[in-house]
Amino acid sequence: MRLRIERIGAQGDGIAQTGDGPIFVPFTLAGDEIDAWLEPGPRGTIRAQMEGLITPGPGRQDAPCRHHGQCGGCSLQHLDADLYARWVADRVQMAMAQHGLGDCPMAPPQISPPSSRRRLSLKAMRTSRGVLLGFAMRQSHHLVDVRQCPVARPSLVALFKPLRALLHDLMPLRAASVISLTEADNGIDMVIDGGIAPGLSMREALAAFAQSRDIASLHVMEDGLCDPVAVNRRVEMVFDGIPVPLPPGGFIQATAEGEAALRALMLEWLEGAQNCVDLFAGIGTFSFPLARRARVLAVEGARTALDALQSGVNKASHLKGLTALHRDLFRRPLSAAELAPFDGLIIDPPRAGAVAQMGEIAKSGVRTVVAFSCNPNSFARDARILVDGGYQLCQISPVDQFLWSPHVELAALFTKS
């Protein structure tokens, strides 16, 4: 049937309104007139595949990646820069509106450029025709064999071809694996999870690969254990001049540009705060720069991340007011009474958000709260808790580190008199 796309939804699909309800069409935008083939979607929705573009909508561009339309990693490459920036802002505002916060002040999005992603999680599968290496198709388990990736750093993309050759010799037929690549500040960290057996010949091949490609560290996950097969040097991130070890497969912000933008907002919004707490502190991305001008308690529940943070604290002897605390904030959130000494707070929870911790913050007297989130939906829910607790939502700043993807990072400032 012929459809006219009216808007782009929260997951990046174009939406056509019909008498039978909304129809979701990937890789389309508002104003597109298309011929489409309908098919059932998840949870009773109606989806369609574009069979032909009759009239393009405003803001359409040629996708820069040859895998666009197959690879599920980037679904919005057909939007030009201006339209994409408007969609990022709309994506956040739609989520906020669902919780009655649609009129919140919003800064223009800061969007990381192409070739800036420093973290990739690749899937690999050995087939009779060779090794497939890449990402799953959109809403499918089928693997797209990726040969280019315009969002990733070139140093990571350069590993695709040699990785295929390496895995072809190590993986049995029909074996599958997940390859995590992270470019830290002093080299690449690689973790291989599944698909290979840790024998002597495998270890020698992996060690030779790491040496020839200057991989800083290469680990293999087996039965939940992380095996250090080749460690040429300890992988580190540098926060405000302080080297901090990065655990194998550890979390860092997806782009250096995004990290810098988030850090700048945090420092601006916590100007004047003297006693701060950093919840879900990770390895200290925000704790270390803030500790140059305020006392900081960095709270983290993951032991490997906390150990890395503590290692950085031990090196930063000049930061007398920075301390680390191990605590599972999902099971034991800091109570309002425990938050009483602090006049500034940072919270950067996982995608699911932190309902229990937000409830305690809402009851507290902390004057300034800086919240980060990579999920506008869970953030909007948590923001509602703070607002209902007496906080004013002063500003939201989208900081998009996931170019051409429906995933959006954001920072927000809350204050309480």
Q: How far apart are CA 211 and CA 31, in angstroms?
A: 52
353 phi and psi, to 5 degrees? Answer: 80, -165
What span, in angstroms and rounded, lies between the C-alpha atoms of 189 and 202?
Answer: 18
Residue 310, annotated as binding a ligand: no
Q: Which amino acid is at 390?
A: G
Sequence-distant (6+) residues with CB within 8 A of 323 are: 296, 297, 298, 313
274 is in an annotated binding site: no
3-state secondary structure of 209: helix
Q: Which of 388, 396, 399, 394 is nearest to 414 (CA)?
A: 394
Catalytic hit among 149, 226, 374, 394 = 374
**Is 280 annotated as belonging to a binding site?**
yes
Q: Is 374 a catalytic residue?
A: yes
Q: 228 has which bridge partners?
A: 219
What does the block give as tokens for 274?
């003297």
Side-chain half-sphere exposure of 124, counting CA atoms within 13 A:
31
Residues with Cβ within 8 Å of residue 43, at least 6 apart in sequence: none
Sign of the dihedral through C-alpha 7, 13, 18, 22: negative
> Largest Cα–Cα distance in the chain?
68
Residue 136 burial (10 A CB sphere; 0-12, 13-18, 19+)? middle
**Binding residue per annotation — 20?**
no
Exposure b/e, 359-381, CB count within 10 A at least 16 = b? bbbbebebbbbbbbbbbbbbbbb
Q: Do 132 and 143 form a contact (C-beta atoms < 8 A)?
A: yes
Q: Residues marked as binding?
A: 253, 280, 300, 348
> Which positions are annotated as active-site residues?
374
Q: Residues marked as binding for S-adenosyl-L-methionine?
A: 253, 280, 300, 348
